[in-house]
Amino acid sequence: MFYLLFAIIIVLLSVTIAGVSFAPWVPAWKSDLPRIFKLAELKPGQIFYDLGCGNGKVVLYANKQFQAKSIGLEISLPLYFVCKVRQLFNLNKNLIFKYKNLYREDLKQADVIYFFGIANKLDKLRAKLERELKPGCRIISYVFPVIGWIPVAVDKPNPKDISIYLYIKN
Ligand SMILES: C[S@@+](CC[C@H](N)C(=O)[O-])C[C@H]1O[C@@H](n2cnc3c(N)ncnc32)[C@H](O)[C@@H]1O
């Protein structure tokens, strides 16, 4: 009983921390993945990051469809375990899931960065990306724009579609 209670507290804590830190878990629509990766122009061998990767869906897609070195960072323990279980069915050295705070990862090698964070947290992330990313790195923000940056493209084919923003580091 004690262990069960302890496990529930850990799970609730980690989900709460994720919600406060960057965003709670709300997955991107599967049907939006082609739109995301059309903007990403990801190539085989490039380094792709999903900052806050949830259940790992976007990272797996990047790895499978584009043979990219695909890295997912996740701070919520239950979601990280889901990613690790999914990884068991996709054994591949270019598929990496880290139980890690996204603000603590060095992103200087990244070719493409993807994230789905809540609007008021993107300011802090923007400063990190400006410091660390190499020129030419493509940055994809799902749903929310990064205030202070001008997007190179905004994908929203229909008024009801979710906006997807592309930025390129200069
Ligand atoms: C809105 S969800 C997006 C999930 C996935 N990227 C997608 O597009 O389907 C945001 C994710 O970020 C994770 N998260 C929140 N703060 C984080 C942090 N500081 N470091 C790593 N992951 C974080 C949450 O646990 C959640 O899974």
Residues 6-18 pLDDT 10s: 777 877 877 787 7
Mean pLDDT of 111-138: 96
The predicted pLDDT at position 14 comes to 75
pLDDT (tens digit per residue) in 46-75: 999 999 999 999 999 999 999 999 999 999
Mean pLDDT of 117-143: 96
- Residue found by looking up tokens 């890690």 in the block: 100
CA distance 42 to 63: 10
How many whole angstroms from 153 Cα to the centroid of ligand 1? 23
- Domains of the chain by start residue, with CATH: 2-168 (3.40.50.150)
Residue 149 token pair: 């940056």
- Least confident among 2-6, 34-38, 50-54, 138-142: 2-6
Beta strands in 37-132 (DSSP E): 47-51, 69-74, 95-99, 112-115
Ligand 1 contacts CB of residue 26 (under 6 A)? yes
User: Which conformational region is residue 3 in: left (phi greater than 0), alpha (psi within -120 to 50 degrees), or beta?
Assistant: alpha
Mean pLDDT of 102-125: 96
The predicted pLDDT at position 21 comes to 86
Q: Is the pTM of this model over 0.85?
A: yes
Ligand 1 contacts CB of residue 149 (under 6 A)? no
Strand, helix or coil for residue 29: coil
How many whole angstroms from 53 Cα to the centroid of ligand 1? 5
CA distance 79 to 61: 17
CA distance 98 to 15: 16
How many whole angstroms from 6 Cα to the centroid of ligand 1? 23
Mean pLDDT of 66-91: 96
Q: What single DSSP character describes residue 152? A: S
Sheet containing 112-115: which strands, arranged edge to edge? Answer: 95-99, 69-74, 47-51, 112-115, 138-142, 164-168, 153-155
Residue 33 token pair: 């993945």
- Using pLDDT thresholds of 50, 70 and 90, give the confidence band for residue 127: very high
42 strand-pairing partners: none
How many whole angstroms from 24 Cα to the centroid of ligand 1? 6
